[in-house]
Amino acid sequence: MNELAITVIGRDRPGIVADVAEVLARLGANLTDSTMTRLRGHFAMTLICTGPAAAEVEAALAPLAAEGQLLATVRAVTPDGEVPPVGEPYVMAVHGSDRMGIVAAMTRVLVDAGGNVTDLSTRLAGSLYVVLAEVELPAGVADTLVDRLHRTAAELGVEVTLRPADPDLL
Amino acid sequence: MTGAQESGPDAEAYAGLGDWTPESLVVPGEVRAVVSAPHPVLSRAADEVDPTAKETVQLAADLVATMRVSPGCVGLAAPQVGVGARVFAVDVTGHPKAVTLHGTFVLCNARVVEATRWKAGREGCMSVPDLTGDVKRASRLVVEGDLPGTGKPVRLVTDGFEARALQHEIDHCAGLLFLDRVAGAHAVYQRKVYL
């Protein structure tokens, strides 16, 4: 079974999801994991699909992209690319004045502690920049990691908190 | 206006709000400018105050005045008007989500002494005007603090929306924003509805 990684991004308008999903459905591409959201007026889709060959999907999406408002890429990827969890889930929140390199510096601290970022979003609201990252951390590193995050945040002039992700199971 | 009964281990030392109102402060409040993140005062733990000091009484009156002119505002902490002091005003009167409510009040040096029944809810903040976020808060809360003016120690037992508002304001006094407590990478939203 082919597994495809597809990205579609373009100026937001009603109908992008329906248009792209319709193309995929017509080709028998099964849309598995995806995220779709609006980022500062652009609509962005990241999709994993199984089914047809990459070239076939690329050709089918081409008419949508041809209008010049959407950019679509299709790549065949290796299936079963799941990474086993490295430990416990945490949420890192960073906020402060917008400047270059906040995501780079803060995520590097997480990686250097053996952490794996599994989800991340950023928001720019006026001059306020917010980074929210979900990260898996090896057992026992959180306390020392907090100190390192605070040092790096202080160098950047931003605030950081690291908390265990809500473990509620119902 | 008083809601749940004030009781607990320190019930003798801490009474309820009684008949306290902002008018008990005597001084008229002035509307102050509200600061927005990333202003550094919002990220600093605020200082304890003398609740009987003249400047604390004036600050309390100003917080109430500023809260009252701000549409939809149910709480305002001193750091939000640029003052690093552990003082905040709350008033959830008339809010559709409020169950127990204590009217308009100001607390100094407040702290949470019991927090149970955690529930997620969407929060906004005058100091983060463009974003909202999902935050888990205790829906049953006991808070102790001092009344500005007399300095009388009080204990509030509350729930639901008023409990959420109190925790949000106590966080401000600790240098925390709702952004520091959101549930995950997709728990912050561009604000769509303005009052």
**Chain A positions in Cβ-Cβ contact with residue B186 (cut-off 8 Å):** 119, 121, 132
Q: Is residue A105 part of a domain?
A: yes
pLDDT computed for residue B34 by the predictor = 98
> Cis (ω within 30 of 0) for the bond into A79?
no
Q: Is residue A170 part of a domain?
A: no
Question: From the CA of A75, how many Å to the nearest CA of chain B?
Answer: 26
Instruction: Kindly report the CATH number assigned to the domain that includes residue A149.
Output: 3.30.70.260
**CA-nearest residue of chain B to A122?**
B185
> B96 — phi, psi (to 5°)?
-60, -25
Q: Is residue A121 part of a domain?
A: yes
Q: Is residue A83 part of a domain?
A: no
Co-location of A44 and A93 in the same domain = no
Tell me: pLDDT of A23 over 50.
yes
The yes-or-no answer on residue B123 being catalytic is no
Co-location of A71 and A116 in the same domain = no
pLDDT in tens, A64-80: 988 788 999 999 998 87
Please give the tally of structural domains in chain A: 2
Tell which residue, A143, A27, A158, has the closest CA to residue A96: A158
Pairing assessment for the beta strands A116-125 and A158-164 based on DSSP bridges: unpaired
Please give the tally of structural domains in chain B: 1
Q: Give the pLDDT band (50/70/90) at residue A85.
A: confident
pLDDT in tens, A104-140: 999 999 999 999 999 999 999 999 999 999 999 999 9
**CA-nearest residue of chain B to A164?**
B183
> B8 — phi, psi (to 5°)?
135, -175
Contact: A132, B184; criterion CB under 8 Å: yes
pLDDT computed for residue B13 by the predictor = 72
**Chain B positions in Cβ-Cβ contact with residue A130 (cut-off 8 Å):** 131, 179, 188
Q: Which residues contact A93 (CB under 8 A, 6 or more apart)?
A: A130, A131, A132, A160, A161, A163, B179, B180, B181, B182
B39: annotated binding-site residue? no
> The domain containing residue A128 runs over which residues?
88-164
Q: Give the pLDDT band (50/70/90) at residue A86.
A: confident
Co-location of A65 and A115 in the same domain = no
pLDDT computed for residue B1 by the predictor = 44
**CA-nearest residue of chain A to B177?**
A95
Co-location of A148 and A108 in the same domain = yes
Q: Which of A76, A106, A121 is the last residue of a domain?
A: A76
Co-location of A146 and A113 in the same domain = yes
Q: Is residue B184 part of a domain?
A: yes
> The domain containing residue B163 runs over which residues?
33-190
Q: Kindly give the confidence (pLDDT) of every residue in chain B, 195 residues in length, as a single tens digit, with 9 standing for 90 and above.
A: 444 455 555 556 788 898 899 999 999 999 999 999 999 999 999 999 999 999 999 999 999 999 999 999 999 999 999 999 999 999 999 998 899 999 999 999 999 999 999 999 999 999 999 999 999 999 999 999 999 999 999 999 999 999 999 999 999 999 999 999 999 999 999 887 655
Instruction: Kindly report the CATH number assigned to the domain that includes residue B111.
Output: 3.90.45.10
Residue A105 one-letter amino acid: A
Tell me the two tokens of residue B45. 């733990």
pLDDT computed for residue B84 by the predictor = 98
pLDDT computed for residue A68 by the predictor = 80
Question: From the CA of B121, how many Å to the nearest CA of chain A?
Answer: 14
**Chain A positions in Cβ-Cβ contact with residue B185 (cut-off 8 Å):** 91, 119-121, 132-134
